[in-house]
A and B are shown apart, each in its own frame.
Chain A
Amino acid sequence: MADAKKLAEQLKRLNELRGPVPQELRDRVAAQNKAQKAILDALKEGPKTAPELAAAAGLPHDLAIWYVAGLRKYGKISDVPGRGDWPKYELKAGEAK
């Protein structure tokens, strides 16, 4: 694990070299966190398709499937086996925080 003091010094030096973290990036990360939380919250009610998640989280459809791909990759959600035009996704056990 990193030494907290050394890490703080590195991050401070980084701020001096590159300037502060751009507001646009902070806003983007905040929006990402909000969208992911909304998707995970919606899945607490049970399995849902990408358009259902888009509606529940107030996201455009293409962004909803992008978040689904990301949450799936990082082990937060998984596919529900089954047929149909719209696959369903569910929370992975232990991820319903």
Chain B
Amino acid sequence: MSDIEKIEVDTLVVGSGIAGLQSALDLADQGYSVAIVEKAPSIGGKMISLSKVFPTLDCASCITTPRMASVSHHPRITTLTYSTVDAIKREGKSFTASVTRKPRYIDEKECISCKRCEEVCPVYLPDEYEQGMGAKKTISIPFTNAIPQYPVMHPEHCIRCGACARACPKDCIEFLQEPAPVEIKAKSVILATGYETTPMTAKKQYGLGKLPNVISPMAAERLLAPHGPYGRVLRPSDGMVPGSIAYVQCAGSRDKSIGVPYCSRVCCMYAIKQAILLSGSLPIADITIYYMDIRAFGKGYEQFYNNARAMGINFVKAKVARITEDEKHNPILRIERQEGDSAPAEVQHELVVLSQGLVPGHDAAAFGLGAENNDYGFVKLSDEMVSSAVTAGAGVFAAGVVKGPRDIPDSVVDAGSAAMEAASYMRKL
């Protein structure tokens, strides 16, 4: 094997969502060198796939893409995408991370992102960026505004026809590429591994992900995004414009039965945001939010909620006990109202969004750097009253949802705090 690629920087940032990007930029702008490792083929994390943000309704990619571009062009930031951090070892006052660059099966130095390989590839796959609703090819660029714009090949779906290699003007398809190890030495580590949403299969009562018109909130974001899978809001079972849409709140949070007893802090607001956006795209649709209580705690959030009510979005205080469907795949919700007549009722809608909660994206304690997890698997801070970024591991800091559910403004603010704490730690070394 050839020599291992070695990178030496001041700070290693694990994860390139909005928190990882922001902390890397803050450090690099202060003069520190940074390496960001991202497991996905593009930087940008969850935020780059959102349509708009609450409560300002700014376009999410308009906020994320400038940061992505700044990171990828920054002279002091090295970005490793489609790479995994396999282990981090503490050696005295520094850290050594073993990273694997997964093979994209292309020569990244030669690729000019012309997409010809993708155009000619004959194999269609469900596109996970579009939450399975759209299609991609076996070799494809992950999404329109991905950074870097390199295609990734999925060899398990490749029929080895060679069409991509014949179409490539730079001869950069490498069918035999192997994973490549990288060693990163750093003085401090920022954990920004973010979250996953509770799975669609979490609750038997909500159809275990098998009801085609019961979708995740990330899927709803893609339906609302201007470059989404259908270019408009349609339901995935048959491509119909839905006339009646419901949100089931706390579908993956505040629920001991699925091991997520905490509040995910963002679901009320993203549901309200999506409801407002849907009423813009589908002016005659009925939109209902079934909620336990609305938690609109940030600046301008309560006003945002009141605006949604004023726009005619129905807020029904009710717990949804069960979701089934009729023969046309219309979801049927069995609800129990908690106000007025509390008798159970069955209500039919045409599309239902489960407001899933947030669970840890990665077990950060598994790195064994002294940073511990709390009861729910999020990174525990050493003293929340003193700092929002310092963990029990010296030189190890946390940014964003890795510490627990929080919204985008909070993630950005405390990414800055993690960068500041890391800089202050490194100055004392």
**Which residues of chain A have C-beta atoms less than 8 A from B122's C-beta?**
29, 32-33
Q: A85 near B: Cβ within 8 Å?
A: yes
A70 to B140, CA, bound (A): 13
- Residue interface bits B216-232, CB-to-A below 8 A is 1, else 0: 00000000000001111
Q: Beta-carbon contacts of A57-87 to B below 8 Å, as 1s and 0s?
A: 0000110111111101110000100001111
Chain B residues positioned under 8 Å from A13 (CB to CB): 175-176
Residues of B with C-beta under 8 A to A68: 230, 239
On whether the beta carbons of A51 and B238 are closer than 8 Å, the reply is: yes
Q: What residues on B are CB-neighbors of A87 within 8 Å?
A: 232, 234, 239, 241
Mostly, the B contact residues are loop
Contact across chains for A70 and B135 when beta carbons are under 8 A apart: yes
Whether A7 contacts B166 in the complex (CB less than 8 A), given A26-B159, A29-B122, comes out as yes
Tell me if B169 counts as interface (CB < 8 A to partner A).
Answer: yes
Instruction: Determine if B134 is an interface residue (Cβ-Cβ < 8 Å).
Output: yes
Residues of A near B236 (CB, < 8 A) are 62, 65
Query: Do A2 and B237 touch across chains, with their CB atoms under 8 A apart?
Result: no
Known: A33-B122, A62-B238, A85-B243. A1 touches B169 (CB 8 A): yes
Indicate which residue in A21, A61, A74 contacts B238 across the interface (CB closer than 8 Å): A61
B240, A69: Cβ atoms closer than 8 Å: no
What is the total number of residues of chain B having a CB less than 8 Å from a CB of chain A?
A: 37
When distances are taken between beta carbons in the complex, the residues of chain B under 8 Å from A72 are 230-231
Give the residues in chain A near B173, CB-CB below 8 Å: 2
For chain A, the count of residues having a C-beta within 8 Å of the partner chain is: 41
Q: Is the CB of B166 within 8 A of A67?
A: no
Closest to A15 in B: B160
Give every chain A residue within 8 A of B231 (Cβ-Cβ). Answer: 72, 79
The number of inter-chain residue pairs (CB within 8 angstroms) is: 105
Chain B hits for A15, CB < 8 A:
160
The answer to whether A1 touches B175, judged by C-beta atoms less than 8 angstroms apart, is no
B157, closest chain A residue (CB)? A25
Q: Looking across the interface, which residue of chain A has its beta carbon closest to that of B242?
A: A85
**Chain A residues whose C-beta falls within 8 Å of the C-beta of B119 in the assembled complex:** 74
Task: Name B137's closest neighbour in chain A (CB-CB).
Answer: A74
A18 within 8 A of B: yes
Contact B240–A85 (Cβ < 8 Å)? yes
In the assembly, what is the distance between CA of A15 and CA of B160, in Å?
9
Residues of B within 8 A of A61 (CB): 237-239
Nearest residue, chain A, Cβ from B227? A73
Beyond A2-B166, A73-B134, A86-B241, whether A29 also contacts B159 by CB under 8 A is yes
For A69, give its contact among B134, B155, B158, B175 (CB under 8 Å). Answer: B134
For the complex formed, measure the closest distance between the CB of A80 and the CB atoms of chain B, giving whole angstroms: 12
* Assembly CA distance A73 to B49 (angstroms): 17
Q: For window 20-79 of chain B, which residues contact chain A by CB distance below 8 Å?
A: none
Contacts of B181 in A (CB 8 A): none
Query: Which residues of chain A are within 8 angstroms of B377 by Cβ–Cβ distance?
Result: none
- Is A14 engaged at the interface, CB distance under 8 Å to the other chain? yes
Q: Mark B176-193, 1 if CB is under 8 A from A, else 0.
A: 100000000000000000
A79 to chain B, nearest CB (A): 6
Contacts of B175 in A (CB 8 A): 10-11, 13-14
19 contacts between A and B (CB under 8 A): A1-B166, A1-B168, A2-B168, A10-B165, A14-B160, A21-B158, A26-B159, A29-B159, A50-B238, A62-B237, A64-B238, A65-B230, A65-B238, A66-B126, A67-B124, A69-B130, A69-B230, A70-B135, A72-B230
Q: Which residues of A does B touch, CB under 8 Å?
A: 1-4, 7-8, 10-11, 13-15, 17-18, 21, 25-26, 28-29, 32-33, 49-51, 54, 61-62, 64-70, 72-74, 79, 84-87
Interface residues of B, Cβ cutoff 8 Å to A: 119, 122-124, 126, 130, 133-135, 155, 157-160, 162, 165-169, 171, 173, 175-176, 212, 229-232, 234, 236-241, 243
Extra pairs beyond A2-B168, A8-B162, A69-B135 (16, CB < 8 Å): A7-B162, A11-B162, A13-B176, A21-B159, A32-B123, A50-B238, A51-B238, A61-B238, A62-B236, A62-B238, A65-B230, A65-B238, A69-B229, A79-B231, A79-B232, A87-B234
Q: Can you list the 8 inter-chain pairs with the closest CB atoms, starting with the nearest?
A: A70-B135, A50-B239, A65-B239, A61-B238, A2-B165, A69-B134, A69-B229, A10-B175
